[in-house]
Amino acid sequence: MLPSLECRELGADFIISSDVWELSAILRGMGVTHHHPQARHVYPQHYLNAALGSDVLVQPDIPLKAYMPGCISVATLIAAGEAATHRALEA
């Protein structure tokens, strides 16, 4: 879960969220982001609220095998996160 709304309630002025949810990664791979017209049909409402409540949403391209323990190195995950962060900040 992305706790962006809870962070706002606690007084945060600027929210940077990192979305590493496997379902979200699968849907993004199929071209269905939280901005997609059909998003409300496939994403839970609490996810959409949190994603849209973030000022910057970092969405790393995490290979599906990364969700299986021991199948991918931590360095690969860190590199994916860094690349996604740079993309998000440029946008």
- Domain residue ranges in the chain: 4-90
Q: What is the structure's pLDDT at 29?
A: 84
Cα–chain center distance at 15: 13
58, β-bridge pairs = 18
Q: Determine contact, residues 34/46, Cβ cutoff 8 Å.
A: no
Contacts of 72 (CB under 8 A, 6+ apart): 63, 65, 66
Q: Determine contact, residues 27/33, Cβ cutoff 8 Å.
A: yes
Q: Which two tokens stand for residue 90?
A: 């440029």
Q: How far apart are CA 57 and CA 50, in angstroms?
A: 10
Q: What is the structure's pLDDT at 83?
A: 92
pLDDT in tens, 37-90: 989 999 999 889 889 889 998 988 887 777 777 666 777 878 888 999 999 888
Q: What is the structure's pLDDT at 14?
A: 94
Q: What is the structure's pLDDT at 41?
A: 92
